[in-house]
Amino acid sequence: MNPPSTPQSYLDQGNAASVGAGSGQGRAVESEDEALVRRMAAGDDQALGVLYDRWHPVVHGVVSRMLRQADDVEDVVEETFWQAWRQASRFDRARGAVQTWLLTIARSRALDRVRALRRRREEPLEGDDGQDVVQQVAEGDPGLDAEASERRRLVVAALSGLPAEQREALELGYFGGLSQSEIAERTGQPLGTVKTRMRLALQKLRSQLQVLGSEGEGSG
Amino acid sequence: MSEGMTHEQAREALEALALDALDASERGAVMAHVATCAICQSELAALENTAGELALAAAPIPMPPAQRDRIRARLLARAAADRAPELSAAAAPQLRVETGRSAAGGDVTPLRPYTKVRRTFGPAAWMAMAAGLVAILGVGAFLKASRERDAARQSLAAVQAATGTQLAALDSLRATLTARERMISSLIGPQVAVMTLASTNPASPTGRMFWDQQRDAWTFVAHRVPMPKTGRTYQMWLVTPTAKISAGTFMPSPDGEVMMQATYALPKDSLAAVAVTDEPMGGSPQPTTAPMMVASK
């Protein structure tokens, strides 16, 4: 797959502490997380330990939001970092920050488990119940360093800027693991409406993150 | 255009694809278009990055220290094993780790043939038979499980590259992969005790028991196990100073291979030995024959 042609300044800022604000896609300095992933790719298991120490609260937070059973959460957290270890050589810094890569893995593994559980138990939904994540930003960010905390603030701010019904579609799909048809069934909205809301939501989130990221660079 | 989907139709579905929220019926057609469209590929990559950032909206949750450390230990053990050079079967014996108490100086202290063992055997006899055996890392079993895991992983990757119509197959492969990963963890985890069961005759069966004390999981792997007589089966026993606890019955494959798993919570210090006896089909409440294989903890 080709690298994205769209501006990615907000992604580059994800490692601003070591990269430097506004360094853009052409940055040459390797972030601390990127160095860890490079060492992992070379077979350094201690680097995996450090990456785990840095990011396990965030991964645990995402996985806990999608799965209810503690055993499932523990398994998925472990499998997330295990997949990161196995695929470290495939990490491409041009496509995004390490944290985005890691959290994408976490969400994907959790989604697999959510769907497998639903099929096995024939339950309508495991995981997210539509609870609004935005309110959680004020609770503090235990375990997050300053740059990750700032990045999280931007994402929550961008989500807060979305209309409630668009945010709901986004969260039911992302954290709940529901397909568009399932969201339509859950919310009682026509499928076409759900599709439109989801499309607009992600587009707005993308542009909002770009704007907020640019403002952050300008003020920083 | 694959399955009749136009560029515009596919483009409108890219956000849902990036969120993995497309219905299966639509997903295959969209992916088929994306595979042939550089514009959509680029757009999808950007949208996937945005979707990936959504995870940050969830509040971080520190794990309880015990859970945090448990996962960390398992990860590092798996990573250490994963980066080890590919082991050949011939090299396996070199990796044996003795834990002491080997009376004969060899890797495995031969046992008396079971036909010569006393017919009345109390705990003392079981302890005596178990004495002198050593714990050995089960490299062969680990390699077998690793190969199965890698095969499952490769199959999974291949299926993922196909269209969304293969979700059922994906499910099965993921289950296989998860089971293999769990088995490997139960073989190489930091709290896994390994016992080797053996007998004197080189042609006799040999086996290893892996006790994952964290998960109360027991994995028994054996080779050269003869098929029992008609109406008979093998039964595994966990021997404590006060009881012989059945861990289940098993039958070997036609080529004498055994892979048996059981779950039983046993206090860490209470196990004295594990043993295998020949029993009537269905198993016995207590052993009725002398053990044909036995090992100490």
- Secondary structure string (H, E, C) spanning chain B: CHHHCCHHHHHHCHHHHHCCCCCHHHHHHHHHHHCCCHHHHHHHHHHHHHHHHHHHHCCCCCCCHHHHHHHHHHHHHHHHHHHCCCCCCCCHHHHCCCCCCCCCCCCCCCCCCHHHCCCCCCHHHHHHHHCCCCCCCCHHHHHHHHHHHHHHHHHHHHHHHCCHHHHHHHHHHHHHHHHHHHHHHHHHCCCEEEEEEECCCCCCCEEEEEEECCCCEEEEEEECCCCCCCCEEEEEEEECCCCEEEEEEECCCCCCCEEEEEECCCCCCCCCEEEEEEEECCCCCCCCCCCCEEEEC
Q: Does A157 touch chain B (CB under 8 A)?
A: no
Indicate if the pLDDT at residue B7 is higher than 90: yes
Tokens representing B82 are 């994963």
Residue B143: what pLDDT?
60
Residue A8: what pLDDT?
28
d(CA A164, CA A161): 9
Give how far A75 is from chain B: nearest CA, Å.
9
Residue B201: what pLDDT?
55
Q: Does A36 touch chain B (CB under 8 A)?
A: no
> ipTM of this model?
0.76
Tokens representing B160 are 């993922």
Instruction: Tell me the whole-structure pTM to 2 decimals.
Output: 0.53
Residue B197: what pLDDT?
74
Q: Does domain B192-296 have CATH number 3.40.720?
A: no
Residues forming a β-bridge with B249: B235
Q: What value does the mean pLDDT of chain B take?
A: 72
For B244-277, the pLDDT digits (tens) are 888 888 888 888 888 888 888 888 778 888 888 8
Percent of chain B with pLDDT over 70: 63
Residue B39: what pLDDT?
94
Tokens representing A140 are 């503090």
For B137-153, the pLDDT digits (tens) are 345 555 666 666 667 76
- Residues B122-143 have a mean pLDDT of 45
Residue whose pair of structure tokens reads 């990750």 in the numeric block = A148
Does A81 or B238 have the greater pLDDT score?
A81
Indicate if the pLDDT at residue B127 is higher than 50: no
Give how far A130 is from chain B: nearest CA, Å.
13
d(CA A125, CA A177): 8
d(CA A13, CA A18): 10
List chain A residues with pLDDT less than 70: 1-28, 121-145, 213-220
Are A41 and A126 in contact by the 8 Å Cβ rule? The answer is no
Q: Does A111 touch chain B (CB under 8 A)?
A: yes
Distances in whole angstroms, Cα of residue B145 to Cα of each of B80, B219, B268: 16, 12, 25
- Residues B27-44 have a mean pLDDT of 91
Are B156 and B174 in contact by the 8 Å Cβ rule? The answer is yes
Q: Does B72 touch chain A (CB under 8 A)?
A: yes
d(CA B76, CA A210): 37
Indicate if the pLDDT at residue B18 is higher than 90: yes
Strands of the B217-223 sheet, one edge to the other: B192-197, B206-212, B217-223, B258-263
Contact B60 A133 (CB under 8 A): no
Restricting to B residues 9-48, those with a Cβ less than 8 Å away from any Cβ of A are 12-13, 15-16, 18-24, 38, 41-48
